[in-house]
Amino acid sequence: MKIFLFLLPSLFFFLSLTACGDGPSSSQKLKNEVETVKTLDLFRYSAAASTQPLNLLFIHHSCGGLWLADQGPAAGHDCIYTTHSNGGGLRRMLEENGYRVHEASYNSIIGSHTDINDWPSKFSQQMETILKTDMQDQLLPDGQTNNIVMFKSCFPNNNFTSDQVVEEAMAAYKKLLPDFRRQSNVLFVAVTAPPLVLPSKSQNPLKVLLKKLLGRYKDVPVIGQRARRFNNWLKDVEHGWLSGYDLQNVVVFDLYDILTKEGQSNWAEYPTGNGTDSHPNFTGNTIAAQKFIPFLNRARHRVKLVNRGQTTVFHVFSLSGVLFLCGLPDLPGETRRPKALLTSFLNRSLPRAKFPFVD
């Protein structure tokens, strides 16, 4: 027995050396497979803040709550935080840019069940409620609706254990597009799920060693590669999710890539819990928030989004547009003077109109 105890440390040292080849280690770099894909070019559009308030709903769980919160002591519930030690300040930044932030998270009809495979049924069956959601199960007042809908799954959704799981996730996202097409005046922002912590860092070292000996870490690099491949596919405008979608009301914000330090690995580079927890830390959330604001502003300018309120609001009401909406033909050129008189009449009759009629 004494001999066994004496030899035990040596045995573990030997096993640790022999196990190094079975999983990721400092002597064996993971293949990142950061493929170059063509992403949506938004830089031609303005990043200026909105000049009128826009309603924005974010459907999220814990990571989204941290991203929105300001930094400070944890305050909130159901992963809707006002402050948190890892808060990224996104809510405040959004509000400063003219967005009214609404949330749906745990313990609400819309906020429950946010895995990738949950999205198709949620949007197809609950779209009307989604567009009217204020906070949790409360609805917006006075017939208001959300102009922007952000949605995000959490980091376990990047645990792609097989190619079939990847294909199922792709199929789920494809099913969303017909529903998004029917809401062409709403901007949908798909936020990719945050990356996982490298499994060997998130578990007990002894368990990791034993799993390496049993060969259970041989597929770890492949899981990371599958996550990278899937999230690249979401944002690939040539061969990915939106390659055949001809409207401009759907965009992808690649949070996964940002939190891997833009491809330095396929795993979380801003973890919490001393490197063992996949929830992003303050630095990662702040960087992501700072990148998201100009992204959203440009996407909004691209789709020419304005606040609809109860009905669609145009920056300038044109008489021709009113006639068209009423199903009437436009007035011919030779009736220009009557048309001008009618325009003047409408402006006098509707003195409280926010925008004037023009002929």
pLDDT value of residue 288: 98
Q: Which two tokens stand for residue 91?
A: 């809510």
Which has the closest alpha carbon to 265: 26, 15, 10?
Answer: 26
Where residue 243 falls among pLDDT bands split at 50, 70, 90?
very high
Rounded distance between C-alpha atoms, residue 168 and residue 87, angstroms: 32
Q: Which domains does the chain have, with CATH numbers?
A: 30-303 (3.40.50.1110), 317-358 (no CATH)
Rounded distance between C-alpha atoms, residue 192 and residue 82, angstroms: 23
- For residue 67, CA distances in Å to 88, 169, 189, 286 come to 5, 24, 15, 7
What digits encode the pLDDT tens for the residues 163-206? 999 999 999 999 999 999 999 999 999 999 999 999 875 545 56
pLDDT value of residue 316: 37
Mean pLDDT of the chain: 82
Give the distance, in angstroms, between the CA of residue 54 and the centroid of all CA atoms in the same chain.
Answer: 17
Which has the closest alpha carbon to 206: 6, 357, 9?
Answer: 9
What digits encode the pLDDT tens for the residues 8-54? 455 444 444 444 444 443 333 433 455 689 999 999 999 999 999 99
Mean pLDDT of 321-345: 49
Identify the weakest region by mean pLDDT among 100-109, 197-206, 225-234, 279-288: 197-206
Report yes or no: 79 and 61 within 8 Å, Cβ to Cβ.
yes
Q: Which is higher by pLDDT, 26 or 332?
A: 332
pLDDT value of residue 284: 98
Dihedral sign from CA coordinates of 265, 267, 268, 274: negative
Counting Cβ atoms within 10 Å, is residue 221 exposed (0-12), middle (13-18) or buried (19+)?
buried
Q: Which is higher by pLDDT, 192 or 358?
A: 192
Q: Is 277 helix (H, G, I), strand (E, B) or coil?
A: strand
Q: Please say if the pLDDT value at position 118 is more than 80.
A: yes
Where residue 336 falls among pLDDT bands split at 50, 70, 90?
very low
In the chain, pLDDT over 90 holds for what percent of residues?
Answer: 67
Which H or E element spans position 96? helix 90-96
Q: Please say if the pLDDT value at position 252 is more than 90.
A: yes
| CA terminus-to-terminus distance, the chain | 99
Mean pLDDT of 235-241: 97
Q: What is the DSSP string of 207-223?
A: HHHHHHHTTTTTTHHHH
In the chain, pLDDT over 70 holds for what percent of residues?
Answer: 70
Rounded distance between C-alpha atoms, residue 133 and residue 6, angstroms: 65
Q: Which is higher by pLDDT, 21 or 55?
A: 55
- Measured in residues, the chain has a length of 359
pTM over 0.85: no
β-strand pairing of 80-84 with 75-77: antiparallel
pLDDT value of residue 356: 44
